[in-house]
Structure 1
Amino acid sequence: MDVLVAENGAQGKHALVPLVASSVAAPPSVPSNVVTDPQFAAERKAFMEETTEFVEKYHINELFNDLLKELILNYPDNPIEHLIDYLERPPSLRVVIIGPQACVGSQRSELCDKLADTHGLIHVHAGRLIRAYLKKSDSGLLSHCIQKGELVPDSIAIDAVLPIIRKNGRRGCVINGFPRTRVQAVALQESRIVPDKFIILTVPGRDLQVYFQLLPTTEEHETNAARNSLVDETCHNTPQASRMLGYEQAEKQCSTKARAYERHISGVMQQYASAYHTISTSATLDETLQKIRVLGPVGSGKSTQAKLLADWYGVVHVDAQQLVRELALKDEKLRTVLHESEEKGTLLPQEFVLPPILNRLRQADCSSRGWVLEGFPQTCSQAEWLRNMRLTPTQVIALDIDAVSQAITGDA
């Protein structure tokens, strides 16, 4: 750690990493006779289990990683005061999502919109910012780059996008389509903007050119008229010759785009070699985020099946009734209403059910891993509410009456 800091010229007040490392005292040695004491061993085991549970529950490792990153990036004169100020700010999140525009452009934008909406972030759409930046100059560069199948110069992309990222740095943002080249990636790093997540959407290499050919980008549609006009003039308005030349130009452009993308994305991946994650856009259903709703009458084994599904897919099991009961232990009013509802055999009023369900399904573990929901929704209006909250299940599993009968008779 000391060598790394020295090579980057961090001296004096900037030598924070050695300062932090040297301030951590080595754990005291334990006498050998104490270690062999059964009571001490049991207490130590219990302490370690409690500590591990606490660290995982409150994400202590991630917290210290963020604090160390904050110190290294900012080199404050007073590290302690700076960290206190950092912890008092609202938490922010920076996510970068990139991928071939023609293949996953709309899919990527939709994903960015959902992430921004779920986490209260700003959606920084690089393509829109670059187009707006070029339209101000009215230089025709955008149309030229699209016709040639080239990216805009790095200097323009950087000038158009980086200021917006810096402006929204403290609130948090989802950066869509930037950086697209190694030069842009270096500029992002030199600006001390460190993404919390760097995601690259991928398609099979053999299909890349085909995708570019089949799925033209929005920018291409904007210049189709000018390009077709140019082709017609070149071919002296001969329809057949015009179409042939248009096809040839389109195929050549797609090939150029595919090769350029592969070259540029390679540079970006090298720059973020230890930080990026790849997600295949051709993933099967088992590889995508699961949101499962389990339905069935009492005695159908909903809880058992929900737990098995959660274990199988590695998602979170959310039992709506259990969630409400746990909240009722701390809320006397809810406890009274729940007791009356169970005695009368009626459903709980919506105001006691919807808020805890929404809060639970939007927590980090459910958002990142997916979930299996049991005991909710119980009515059509609740199902509609889930849809309005953008929490529609990807799968609904209903246990029918035959399954119930088999369970009762012991044949299941």
Structure 2
Amino acid sequence: MALPALPPGAPPAALYAERHGLFELLQSLLEALLLRQPPEPLPFLAELLRRDGDRAPRVLLLGPPAAGKTTVAARLCRALGAVHLSPGRLLVWAELAAGRAAEPGCARRGWVLEGLPASRAQALALQARGVLPRHAVLLRAPDAALLERALGRRLDPATGHVYHTTFAWPADAAVQRRLVPLPGDAEARVARRLLQHHRQLPGILRAFGPRLCAVDADQPCADVCRQVLERVRRGPRAAAPFAPRLLLCGPPGSGKRLQAALLRRRYGLADLRCGRLLRAAAAAGGRLGRLLQPCLRRGGPAPDGLVLRVLRERMARPPAAAAGWVLHGFPRDLDQAELLAAAGLGPNRVVFLTLPAAAAAERVTPRRVDPVSGKRFHALLRPAPSRAVQRRLRRHPRDSPEALQERRERYDYHVADLELFYRDAIHVNANQDPETVFECIESYLVHPLPCHSP
């Protein structure tokens, strides 16, 4: 799978458009213009831009009976500041749903429509009336779990609150005595509604296609709401040109080099390992190389200004300029991150790989290098192929327990500041299979960043 890339030598205008989401904004404006077909397009577009480009949430929350749609929709509306639309409040579902969705309050704040559409015909009718969601979320759970939920629900006639015999039983004995079964929750009626849902579900899936995502509702309500909120805040993947600029941060031994190599093979990204770039620049000579050589001979860090010059030169050449890049080894602290951003070389995706110190020691300290071939081996994971090779193996000074502890302490000292600086970063557990780690990074790479509430 390849990402739609910016053309070679992408001009600053293209990078500006990507950074500020202009492609997605134009798509949103054109969609609204064609759907509503106002008599005066320019005032209509100006009003949309005043509402931040019509980026308000538009969510359909679907699912079988007792899947928790009402609870999830209410929490979603509180988190997003959106208007809650439910079938119980709409007398004529299609006309009123379309009318409520077009009201100024709904248009400005966004809306969450719960439980509709319940069939393909209803989905097409909503679409014909211009009610197009940005996200359609389907809550799924086994029928046995849904029956247990439905049959255990109890209504308090005095307050209208709904309780459950297993999950949410009131402590007040007086409330317990006046609870009655919820209307429509008889086992036969719930079973018929479940059967009807299963019959209509294939048509609903065809009506929304890739916009519909499923969430497992057979888990604690807080987890379901968190997953739904994450899906909604992450916009649909756009076909706009995109050059990934990915920064990998992590303690020594977390697998940054391996993940960068996997990304290079999969997406053709330039693998920018800072230490290797500095050594290559020093070996190439020239004025920049002569300035770097004393630093590398001493074994100390190179000045940040020289590092930025090396990175700028490398990022301007293919494949980094067109396909994008993955950077690791820099920045190591907040000052370097601010310098990188000020130079216009900042990443658009940041991943923090987390790894316990004990697991890092198991990965790093058994590593050995063959001084003859330059190949790297591991006493446990990748042993030397023969005794002759094994006898000449040497440990790199950076892999000693003392050096590892020093590098780890330096990383731990600065990581909190870097996490605050890169607010859209994700954290991936690196103490698992490398392919699993790669799948998490890949999902973050190809999907839009979450939309933060103002």
Q: Give the TM-score normalised by the residue count of structure 2.
A: 0.41
Higher relative contact order (CA 8 A, sep 6+): 2
Higher helix share: 1
Q: Give the TM-score normalised by the residue count of structure 1.
A: 0.44
